[in-house]
Amino acid sequence: MTGLLVVTAVPAEAEAVRAGLTDPTVTVAPVGVGPAVAGAATARLLVLAEAAGRPYRAVVSAGIAGGFVDRVAVGGTVLATRSVAADLGAESPEGFLPLEELGMPADLLGVGSVVPADPGLLDALRTALPAATVGAVLTVNTVTGTAASTAALAARHPDAVAEAMEGYGVAVAAAQAGVPFAELRTVSNPIGPRDRGSWRMREAFAALTAAAAALR
């Protein structure tokens, strides 16, 4: 059995994670942007490792994210209690309907639009990162960019602290493989109307490097 698999969306996130690692058994792989490519690539990595007789012990989706104002600060670190496919469902006159309200599971394992983080892995990360904000992390295909959509998401997910684009896909791949999963993010910008002047990429990457020491 090999160590931990950490998947990021882009190479810059992978480099930030590698810069902070203290455990040489951790594998870091950039797998692409969005839940579909992240899920497919993660599944491939897990299958190849298992076929080689060196299965991974756990998977962490890591990278930068947008944070909900008043729930987490820009530059802060977030640990997901659950990864949520926030836009997987249907519109209705009454509002958005997630899969669970449509009576459709997302896959043959019965995983719906929410995948909880593995309790043991989450507890270990919380112990190693006591200052991290803990809550749901939303996975979206389209990054939120208006005040109205931000308010709707915040109201629909009162425990959500951040949004990104890969966690749910990685979580489903891990669930299919029977491997523990967690999601770790650092916040580069507030969720809401797009204002590049408010983005703090350097701070978010530095926070990701600091948090990577907990990945062991």
- CA-CA distance, 7 to 40, in Å (whole number)? 12
- pLDDT, residue 137, reads 98
Residue type, 152: A
In this prediction, residues 18-36 reach a mean pLDDT of: 95
Q: Is the pLDDT of residue 106 over 70?
A: no
Residue 91 in this model has a pLDDT that exceeds 60: yes
Average of per-residue pLDDT across 70-80: 95
| pLDDT band (50, 70, 90) for residue 88 | confident
The pairing of strands 27-30 and 89-90 is unpaired
Share of the chain above pLDDT 70, in %: 95
pLDDT at 194 (0 to 100): 78
Q: How confident is the model at residue 190 (pLDDT cuts 50, 70, 90)?
A: very high
Confidence (pTM) = 0.91
- List the domain range (segments joined by +) for residue 202: 4-214
Mean pLDDT of 27-43: 96
Burial profile 55-91: b = 16 or more Cβ within 10 angstroms, e = fewer: bbebbbbbbbbbbbeebbebebbbbbbbbbbbbbbee
**Cα–Cα dist 128/90, whole Å:** 38
β-pair partners for 115: 83
pLDDT higher at 92 or 176:
176
User: Which residues contact residue 116 at a Cβ distance below 8 angstroms, ignoring those fewer than 6 apart?
Assistant: 81, 82
3-class SS of residue 129: coil
The pLDDT of residue 109 is 54
pLDDT at 108 over 60: no
Rg (CA), the chain: 16
Residue 205 pLDDT > 90, yes or no?
yes
**The CATH number of the domain where 77 resides is what?**
3.40.50.1580
| CB 46, CB 56: distance < 8 Å | yes
Per-residue pLDDT, 192: 86
- Which comes out higher in pLDDT, residue 58 or 156? 58
Query: Based on the structure, what is the number of domains in the chain?
Result: 1
Q: What is the mean pLDDT of the chain?
A: 91
**Antiparallel, parallel or unpaired: β 58-67 and 4-8:** parallel
> pLDDT at position 96, please?
81
Which run of H or of E encompasses 38?
helix 35-51
Percent of the chain with pLDDT over 90: 75
